[in-house]
Amino acid sequence: MSKYLVNDRVSRCIVTLIVLVSLSGCASIDASPTRMLPAGSKVQVEQELNAVSGSRVTMQYGRVMPRAEISWQDPHCQFFLYRTSEEMRDPVVVQPGTFTVKRTYQRQAYDGVQLAAMEFAGDPTRYPTTIMELSSDQQPEVRDLRCAIWGTTAIEGYLTIDQMQSALGDLAKLVVVTK
């Protein structure tokens, strides 16, 4: 009978190890190249993108949308521009053209309203965000493209390149260069 107990314990240990190894593989998926455009990749804006004012153009479901109207639970992207306080009142325009990705990184951006509640709730709202720093001689004011999705600490993933492209639709194309 003790032989069966030993075999049962060994079996449980093996199963536990298999589960742990498989989960550890899932934890590293955010570093996958399918989640970030490498430096040297391109963002090709296919048509003029306009927003009413501010410093960003927000896109979701393949169309430009007011920031207040996007669904934060679905993938969305924003072009950020360098603008002076006087320019912030003017319409925001990103012209068709090609932007080179200088650097890509990921971070957790927290919602300011939720930061105040963080002490009480213990589960702050966060935006797993991929930021692509951009460069263009024709439009140097366009500084980056940020793609994100609403999340909580229970959601661990960043958007894939396919999800980012889906948010952009035909407005802009992500062209990945391989090294």
Q: pTM for this structure?
A: 0.71
> Does the structure show a pLDDT above 60 at 4?
no
**Pair 94, 131 in one domain:** yes
- Are 67 and 8 members of one domain? no
Distance in angstroms (rounded) separating the CA atoms of residues 145 and 164: 10
Which residue range forms the structural domain that includes residue 12?
1-29
Same-domain check for residues 25 and 99? no
43 in the same domain as 24: no
The pLDDT value recorded for residue 34 is 65
Residue 98 sits in the same domain as residue 137: yes
Q: Are residues 123 and 56 in the same domain?
A: yes
Sheet hosting strand 97-110, strand order edge to edge: 63-64, 56-60, 76-81, 142-148, 126-135, 97-110, 42-45, 172-175
Instruction: Assess whether 58 and 96 both reside in one domain.
Output: yes
pLDDT for position 2: 53
- pLDDT of 156: 57
More confident residue, 131 or 20: 131
Average pLDDT score over residue span 129-156: 85
Q: Are residues 88 and 13 in the same domain?
A: no
User: 63 with 126, same domain?
Assistant: yes
CA atoms within 13 A of residue 48's CA, in its CB half-sphere: 5
| Residue 110 confidence (pLDDT) | 60
Same domain, 25 and 36: no
